[in-house]
């Protein structure tokens, strides 16, 4: 699917207004895809302790939208 030039320009302008760390986060998340799992992005970022806060910032400026919050599955070796 192609994005019209005007929309692409608008997106680029909005991304350019972000601070450098958030710009980098948007780029890395975009490589994963239009939708991404928190745990996948967290693994790519090697467990960035600020990830949740940064994603909240991106959500507040409407750069991303959370679809649903799924708790992580914790499996201990004793249960296998």
* pLDDT tens-digit readout, 28-62: 998 888 888 898 999 999 989 999 999 999 999 98
- Kindly provide the residue ranges of all beta strands, DSSP E only, lying in 11-63, ordered along the sequence: none
Is residue 6 in a domain?
Answer: no
The pLDDT value recorded for residue 78 is: 46
Is residue 12 in a domain?
Answer: no
Domain count for the chain: 1
Domain span at residue 51? 23-64
Question: The whole model's pTM is what?
Answer: 0.73
Is residue 4 in a domain?
Answer: no
Token representation of residue 40: 């996948």
The pLDDT value recorded for residue 53 is: 94
In angstroms, rounded to a whole number, what is the distance separating the alpha carbons of residues 69 and 26? 19
């Amino acid at each position: 699917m192609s994005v019209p030039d005007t929309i692409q320009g608008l997106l680029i302008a909005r991304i350019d207004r972000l601070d450098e760390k958030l710009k980098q986060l948007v780029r890395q998340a975009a490589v994963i895809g239009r939708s991404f799992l928190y745990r996948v992005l967290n693994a790519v970022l090697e467990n960035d302790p600020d990830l949740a806060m940064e994603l909240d910032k991106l959500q507040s400026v409407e750069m991303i939208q959370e679809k649903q919050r799924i708790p992580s599955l914790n499996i201990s070796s004793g249960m296998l």
